[in-house]
Structures are given as C-alpha cells and as structure tokens.
C-alpha cells in the first residue's frame, strides 16, 4: 500500500490556478456577455396570444404587439440584436413565393414596428424564400421541379433585400446558399441607396438534419409536407471542411460584412477554420435542433439545463464566433447579468 505521505516532485502544478473561484476567474480565457447574443424571433399576423412551438420549449410565435414587448425585454437584458422570421398563413404561399415581394409583408411590418419602438436595437432579416413557398425550398424551382433555379432565385432575393432595407433593417441575412447572391444583393442595395445596410451571410450553411423544429416554427415543413425535406443541392455537405472555407471567402469577396456558420455546435471545427481564414466578424447559429435536444435531455433529468446551456454557448465562442444566434439569448443574458 502506498504511503499517505507520498508526494510527487513537480515544478508545474496546473491545479494551483484552479484552487479558488477568484483564481479561476483571473485566468478564464473565454467569457460570455449579453452583447454576444442575437435572438431569433418568430412573428405571426393577427392578435393571437403567444403560441409555444412544441418542439422548442420556451420559444413562441408572437404577434406584432408581443414581438415588440419581447424585443424591449431583450434590450433591457443587454441583448443587442434580433433576427426576425415570419410564419405566414398557408393562403399566402405559392410556388414562386410571391408574398416575399409584397411591400406590406408581415416581416416588413414587424421591422417597422420594432424600429419605431426600440430604434437602438439591431434588426436582422432572413433573405430566403422557404417561409413563402408551398414546396418549402429556399428558392423557386426549375422548370422540371427537381432543383432550385439559382439565378432566378437570386434576382428575387435581391428585391427582397431592398424591401427589407427600406423597412429599416440593419443587416440582411441571405440564408439560401445560392451562388452569387451576396454580390447581387450588395449591388442591389447600393443601387437603391442603401449602402449603409450590412449583409450577414449564411456562408457555411450545412444540409443538416437538425433543422426540423425551425421548419415547424415557420411552417415550411407543413407546406412541404415533411420536416425531412432535402436541400442537398444548395446547402453544404456536412462532410466538407475545405468547401465551407471557400464559401466564406467567396462571400467576403462579394461584399459580406459578417460571415456565418450554421449549425454551430456540431461544426466547431468549421467556426475555427473560418475564424482563421478571414478577418471579417464570424457569426454562428445555435440552431433549433441543438436547442431542442438540450431541453429534451434536461426534461428527462439527464442533463443540467443551465450548465449545458452555458457550456454549449461557451464552446461556440471559444471556437471563434464573435456573435451567436441562439434561442437561449434572453435567459442567458439575464443569467449573466
């Protein structure tokens, strides 16, 4: 049996700096702040009360009045930005997503309402057609209906971006993954007099299986008849790292102000790769499936919700993200404060 007096002769003992809470705080390398978060919010028309999304506990579809109220609460908690996503009534959807170009579309009214109430809050809007199409794809389909028509879609997205800029958004966020859309949107914004409107590009958006709850939230799964809709011809192959870096650098060259990785938690290596490849700010989207699985495990008593929530976001920032879109934004900001 080893003696109780046994001692190692060590010069380096890393545990010295873990001995107390104050020492651990002094050497902490990554720190989360409320200013790191962007809150994705879902908006609906009418006056219905907040409607909780079953697959996303604690996340609601909000009417315009409740949306403004939630934005006030987020700003009070220190969250600097929101990303708005509309859920349309089925009657407004069609094959071409024409409602996206309605000058009084729901998302544009939402932008105007939030900007009027909280002008200092940064607003992002999604530039893609999936909330507007009956087939649930991010663009219009080719004549054969078996793929998304890249160039026709980009033309529509450019018009969408101008309408959103006119409504007062700070950043348009093309999430469609069409080739050349960042450059086309930048040219359209500049030509329309919105050179000050920024672009947060979904540069490395992967064809992930974790998007299901989001598709429920905006109704694109219901429109398409399945939450398992494949977008493999335009979203990135989850197996590819080099391609993701290439996409981010293309978006930077075309005029993106911020590049994004989506999803975040399963793609920490991609966040780090892109952080090292560009000097642009890097955003990461902790998506609906990541949020849902943490909640599901916590409800079963398998995980500590608060600890895992914090750790998951810390990992994303540690990987190199400058800002994080997360459904935990408000509760994390309130907890940090």
* DSSP single-letter state for residue 236: B
CA gap 209, 230 in Å, rounded: 9
Residues belonging to the active site? 205, 262
200 cis-preceded (ω within 30 degrees of 0): no
Q: What does 122-163 look like in DSSP terms, one character per residue?
A: EEEEEE-STTTBSS--SSPBPTTSSSB-HHHHHHHHHHHHHH
How big is the CA angle at 123 (ends 90 and 198), to the nearest 5 degrees? 110
Domain ranges of the chain: 31-336
Tell me the pLDDT tens digit for each residue of 234-274: 999 999 999 999 999 999 999 999 999 999 999 999 999 99
Whole-number pLDDT of residue 224: 52
What is this structure's pTM?
A: 0.94
Mean pLDDT of the region 195-215? 95
Let me know if 118 is exposed, middle or buried by CB neighbors in 10 A (0-12, 13-18, 19+).
middle
Task: Could you list the beta-strand ranges (E) of 155-257.
Answer: 171-174, 198-205
Least confident of 14-23, 90-99, 226-235, 240-249: 226-235
CATH tag for 31-336 (out of 3.40.640.10, 3.20.20.70, 1.10.260.40, 1.10.580.10)? 3.20.20.70
pLDDT, one tens digit per residue, over 146-189 is: 899 999 999 999 999 999 999 999 999 999 999 999 999 999 99
Give the separation between CA 49 and CA 65, rounded to whole angstroms.
10
Predicted local distance difference test score (pLDDT) of residue 226: 58
Query: What's the pLDDT at 216?
Result: 87
At residue 28, the 3 state secondary structure works out as coil
Integer Cα distance of 149 and 160 in angstroms: 16
pLDDT averaged over every residue in the chain = 95
């Amino acid at each position: 049996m080893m003696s109780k007096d046994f001692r190692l002769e060590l010069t380096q003992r890393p545990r010295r700096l873990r001995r107390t809470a104050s020492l651990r705080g002094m050497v902490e390398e990554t720190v989360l702040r409320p200013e790191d978060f962007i809150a994705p919010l879902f908006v609906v028309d009418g006056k219905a009360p907040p409607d909780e999304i079953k697959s996303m506990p604690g996340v609601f579809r909000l009417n315009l009045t409740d949306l403004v109220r939630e934005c006030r609460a987020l700003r009070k908690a220190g969250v600097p930005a929101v990303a708005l996503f509309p859920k349309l009534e089925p009657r407004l959807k069609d094959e071409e997503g024409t409602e996206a170009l309605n000058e009084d579309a729901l998302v544009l009214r939402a932008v105007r309402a939030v900007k009027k109430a909280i002008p200092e809050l940064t607003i992002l809007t999604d530039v893609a057609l999936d909330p507007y199409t009956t087939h649930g794809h991010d663009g219009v389909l080719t004549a054969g209906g078996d793929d998304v028509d890249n160039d026709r879609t980009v033309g529509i997205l450019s018009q969408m971006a101008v309408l959103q800029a006119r409504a007062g958004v700070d950043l348009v966020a093309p999430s469609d993954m069409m080739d050349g859309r960042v450059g086309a949107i930048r040219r359209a914004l500049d030509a329309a007099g919105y050179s000050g409107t920024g672009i947060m590009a979904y540069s490395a958006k992967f064809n992930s299986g974790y998007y299901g709850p989001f598709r429920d939230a905006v109704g694109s799964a219901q429109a398409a008849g399945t939450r398992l809709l494949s977008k493999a011809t335009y979203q990135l192959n989850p197996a590819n790292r080099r391609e993701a870096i290439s996409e981010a650098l293309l978006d930077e060259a075309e005029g993106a102000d911020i590049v994004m990785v989506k999803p975040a938690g399963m793609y920490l290596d991609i966040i780090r790769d892109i952080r090292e490849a560009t000097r642009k700010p890097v955003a990461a989207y902790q998506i609906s499936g990541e949020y849902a699985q943490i909640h599901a495990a916590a409800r079963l008593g398998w995980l500590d919700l608060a600890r895992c929530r914090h750790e998951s976001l810390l990992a994303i920032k540690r990987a190199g993200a400058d800002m994080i879109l997360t459904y935990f934004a408000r509760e994390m900001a309130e907890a940090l404060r």
